[in-house]
Amino acid sequence: MTVPLSDFSFLLPEIFVLAMASIVLVVDVYVEQEKRTLTYGLSLLTVAGAALFSYSLVGSGDQVVLNGGFVLDTMSNILKLFIYLITAGVFIYSKQYLAERQLLKGEFFILALFGMLGMMILVSAHSFLTVYLGLELLSLCLYAMVAMNRDSVGASEAAMKYFVLGALASGMLLYGVSMLYGATGSLDLAEVAHYIASEPDTDLVLVLGVVFVIVGLAFKLGAVPFHMWLPDVYHGAPTAITLFIGTAPKIAAFAMVIRMLAEGLGGMHGYWQEFIVVLSVLSMVIGNVVAIAQSNIKRMLAYSTIAHVGYLLLGILAGTSDGFSASMFYIIVYAITGAGGFGMILLLSRAGFEADRLEDFKGLNARSPWFAFMMLLIMFSMAGVPPTVGFYAKLSVIKSIIDVGMVWLAIVAIIFSIIGLFYYLRVVKFMYFDEPEDTTPLRAGFDMRAVLSANGLAMLALGIMPGGLMSLCVNAFAT
């Protein structure tokens, strides 16, 4: 099998990121610690260049290249652009935090760039093999990033848990893929979908393969009961690393679920829907209830993530194009909101002080009314309070399951969304109604303040005018 040279024109963003990440790796070897901002600047330049290349391919239409292994379509273009946006935000938010802890090293930027490359491959995967390649590239980068602070026992423990459970999840996923290959004779998602559609009787091996694939996906998403790694990793990793793990990779994980379940295994929707219903309900229940008991805001946001995964799965289990577009809208909104939430923790942090306790937000309104308002918008969006965009995100996924007759599940989602209000509003209460325990002025550069302000205001702007983003998501699944 030969690959036409023209196919590589559709991989220009991936080729550019790979080349630039390698250049940054070499340049960083010869850069002194005092000039590490060069690595930072090159990394931002890499993200910007990848965005330009991806934008140049927007009008190319749907293209399947590399002998069916790679696809360029509307969904991949949109998700990649948001991955670039969030990764750039992560770099800007993290710079001062890492510098104050002597962690502003090339390893952070290089691993983040290679991780971003893994996300790009995942988003454009059109074969089970390509999915696995992108997933492992991303996962290996994240394992190393969590353990980057070698002097921290908590980070080392979190990295070990993440690595062991991540390897187990990858094994489950690979075992499921091998079963699907054995049953269908192909790793191409389109060919697998065609085989399932043409076979009136479902093979038991095929069903078992789907089960193992769902287990692997649930691990990667952090859905209950496969969520045990997520709070420990969020808590143990340096906050800048937690920021990266909790945002852009979630978009890639959503794309992986869509590629594998909706595109490859869509003909078996009746089989995997029941599994997703269980995962969704358990995630909403455990995530929202356990988050109430947390005193550490990073652990609270970890359980909040688990709950959000439950809401994300609502649109996917609906099995309709409206449901998929609602879930896509939800994950983009969540990733942007999560970036703002962890960005606020970084804003309050300083050398020797992590600002990861809920009490650290006490009296923030007295210290900085503007950033207290930004945090209020972020918490309201996470909770789904109008007029922030989080309200429309939850409304869209709940509507998608009502449209397919699952009213009882919509009621469950609404009930636990109301329960989840408690721990989000508790942060708002601390900021506006308690006296500050720490009166140290907030120290952050203009770039971080500007981006964090834009992040917070985006929650309100997208909530007032959600139509533009929603239409992008609808177009991604338009037939």
DSSP per-residue string spanning 20-34: HHHHHHHHHHTS-GG
- 201 has a pLDDT exceeding 70: no
- 137 has a pLDDT exceeding 90: yes
Report the number of distinct structural domains present in the chain: 1
Report d(CA 320, CA 326) in Å as an integer: 10
How confident is the model over 223-241, as pLDDT tens digits? 988 888 899 999 989 999 9
The whole-number average pLDDT for the span 289-299 is: 92
- φ, ψ at 247 (rounded to 5°): -125, -90
Using a cut of 0.85, tell me whether the model's pTM lies above it.
Answer: yes
How much is the pLDDT for 105? 84
- At 64, the pLDDT band (50, 70, 90 cuts) reads confident
Q: Average pLDDT over the chain, rounded to whole? A: 90
How much is the pLDDT for 4? 78
Cα of 174 vs its chain's centroid, Å: 21
How much is the pLDDT for 1? 63
How much is the pLDDT for 479? 61
404-409 LR contacts (CB < 8 Å, sep 24+): 404/318, 404/319, 404/320, 404/323, 406/277, 406/318, 409/277, 409/280, 409/281, 409/314
How confident is the model over 105-124, as pLDDT tens digits? 889 999 999 999 999 999 99
DSSP per-residue string spanning 196-207: HHH-SSPPHHHH
How much is the pLDDT for 200? 65
Closest CA to 145 of 41, 242, 45: 242
The whole-number average pLDDT for the span 449-453 is: 94
How confident is the model over 8-21, as pLDDT tens digits? 888 999 999 999 99
How much is the pLDDT for 113? 95
Report d(CA 184, CA 204) in Å as an integer: 12
In the chain, count H helices and then E strands.
20, 2
- φ, ψ at 436 (rounded to 5°): -70, 135
Report d(CA 436, CA 431) in Å as an integer: 8
How confident is the model over 140-151, as pLDDT tens digits? 999 999 988 888
How confident is the model over 315-366, as pLDDT tens digits? 999 989 999 999 999 999 999 999 999 999 999 988 778 888 889 899 899 8
Percent of the chain with pLDDT over 90: 65
The whole-number average pLDDT for the span 283-299 is: 93
- 175 has a pLDDT exceeding 70: yes
Pick from 31-45, 75-89, 248-262, 453-467: least confident:
31-45
Q: Tell me which residue range forms the domain holding 208.
A: 5-476
For residue 180, what are its two tokens? Answer: 């699907």
DSSP annotation of 64 reads: E
Closest CA to 336 of 56, 1, 89: 89
CA dihedral 201, 71, 222, 452 (to 10 degrees): -150
Instruction: Name the region of 76 (left: φ>0; alpha: ψ -120 to 50; beta: rest).
Output: alpha
Which three-class secondary structure state does DSSP give residue 72?
A: strand
The whole-number average pLDDT for the span 438-459 is: 89
For the chain, the 3-state helix, strand and coil shares in percent, each to the nearest 5, are: 80, 5, 20
- 43 has a pLDDT exceeding 70: yes
How much is the pLDDT for 268? 87
- Residue where the block lists tokens 């790694």: 229
Report d(CA 169, CA 166) in Å as an integer: 5
For residue 336, what are its two tokens? Answer: 């942007």
